[in-house]
């Protein structure tokens, strides 16, 4: 099966030294922005996390309300939260994790730690359930969720998919290789890891091999995809159809509710945010490559500014 790649080539000719200097300045500002983590009061570094990356370690602009920012400061500094080593939070929201993922040989040791978190699965499910209930409160992030703030939305999804993402991130093939590592090494199937976040994966723009890992992960997803409160309920069906057409009718199981919202009770209030479309799945960040979506947004903005200045 061939992979379809859109042609995104373009040309720009700017010859003045002034414009070149301006471009260098903009990229320097970009570097400074990327290198700036949370303010000191919101730092997520812990002396007890064995150098495990933490979520929301770098951001362009949270754009959160003051109450939601306070909530983020609370949960990201909570050592019990940190000791859960959430694969989902790291995959979707950690620049450090994205950087480490570029060095494939270092990822197995990192996943060994993530998959053996200090807190037990039961403890972490309770922690994530509590925060999932709290984030939708009007005194925390409800306004941000209603306005479809991507940072608040991804936190909400990550709380509710903790166990799902741990199972997917810690899955191994019969050769005892982590499926995430295999996808990184083969550069095939990474998009499957983003399905629970609401990211659509459309064939044939993605190569979807009939691999042992893809089958294993998708059948994990099938046990959660029947839960309409999760964005996976919207992204799972077309991918299942594709795989079963291409790999055989029994390659991926039907969606069910064997598990529901990270195996913890999602509040009806939170669930209704999805069912009523208050949180729109189409607004989820499209993580094609781990960790670059925020950088892409910023560079697009800087490039637009650059074009405006050079045309003036």
Q: Which residue has the higher pLDDT, 298 or 73?
A: 73
Q: What is the mean pLDDT of residues 288-308?
A: 37
Q: What is the mean pLDDT of residues 95-123?
A: 95
Report pLDDT digits (tens) over 220-271: 999 999 988 888 999 999 999 989 998 999 999 998 876 655 433 334 444 4
pLDDT value for 61: 58
Look at the chain and count its residues: 312
DSSP structural state of residue 62: -
Are the C-beta atoms of residues 157 and 198 closer than 8 Å to each other? yes
pLDDT value for 201: 76
pLDDT value for 59: 61
Please report, in angstroms and rounded to a whole number, the separation of the first and last CA atoms in the chain: 47
CA distance 169 to 28: 35
Least confident of 56-60, 112-116, 196-200, 299-303: 299-303
Report pLDDT digits (tens) over 166-191: 999 999 999 999 999 999 998 888 89
Enumerate residues 6+ apart whose C-beta is below 8 A from 190. Answer: 183, 184, 289, 290
Residue whose pair of structure tokens reads 């070149």 in the numeric block: 20
Report pLDDT digits (tens) over 2-60: 433 333 333 333 334 444 444 443 433 343 333 333 433 333 333 345 688 999 887 65
Residue 207 has pLDDT above 60, yes or no: yes
Query: CA geometry: angle at 257 spanning 256 and 261, to 5°?
Result: 130
pLDDT value for 258: 67
The upper half-sphere exposure of residue 307, i.e. CA atoms within 13 Å in the direction of its Cβ, equals 9
Report pLDDT digits (tens) over 114-158: 999 999 999 999 999 999 999 999 999 999 999 989 899 989 999
């Amino acid at each position: 099966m061939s992979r379809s790649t859109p042609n995104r080539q373009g040309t720009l000719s700017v010859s003045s030294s002034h414009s070149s200097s301006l471009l260098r300045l903009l990229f320097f500002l970009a570097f400074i922005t990327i290198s700036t983590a949370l303010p000191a009061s919101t730092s997520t570094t812990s002396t007890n996390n064995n150098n495990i990356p933490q979520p929301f370690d770098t951001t362009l602009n949270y754009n959160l309300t003051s109450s939601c920012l306070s909530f983020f400061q609370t949960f990201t500094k909570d050592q019990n939260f940190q000791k859960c080593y959430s694969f989902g939070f790291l995959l979707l929201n950690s620049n450090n994790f994205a950087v480490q993922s570029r060095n494939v040989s270092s990822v197995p040791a990192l996943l060994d730690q993530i998959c053996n978190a200090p807190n037990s699965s039961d403890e972490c499910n309770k922690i994530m359930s509590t925060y999932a209930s709290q984030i939708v409160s009007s005194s925390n992030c409800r306004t941000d969720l209603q306005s479809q703030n991507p940072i608040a939305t991804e936190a909400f999804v990550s709380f509710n998919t903790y166990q799902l993402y741990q199972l997917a991130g810690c899955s191994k093939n019969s050769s005892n290789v982590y499926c995430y590592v295999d996808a990184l090494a083969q550069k095939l199937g990474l998009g499957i890891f983003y399905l629970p976040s609401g990211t659509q994966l459309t064939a044939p723009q993605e190569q979807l091999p009939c691999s042992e890992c893809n089958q294993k992960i998708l059948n994990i997803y099938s046990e959660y995809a029947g839960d309409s409160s999760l964005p996976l309920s919207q992204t799972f069906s077309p991918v299942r159809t594709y795989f079963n057409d291409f790999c055989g009718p029994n390659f991926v199981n039907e969606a069910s509710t064997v598990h529901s919202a990270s195996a913890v009770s999602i509040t009806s209030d939170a669930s209704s945010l999805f069912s009523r479309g208050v949180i729109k799945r189409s607004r989820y960040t499209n993580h094609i490559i781990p960790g670059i979506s925020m950088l892409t947004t910023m560079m697009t903005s800087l490039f637009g500014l650059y074009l405006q200045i050079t045309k003036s």
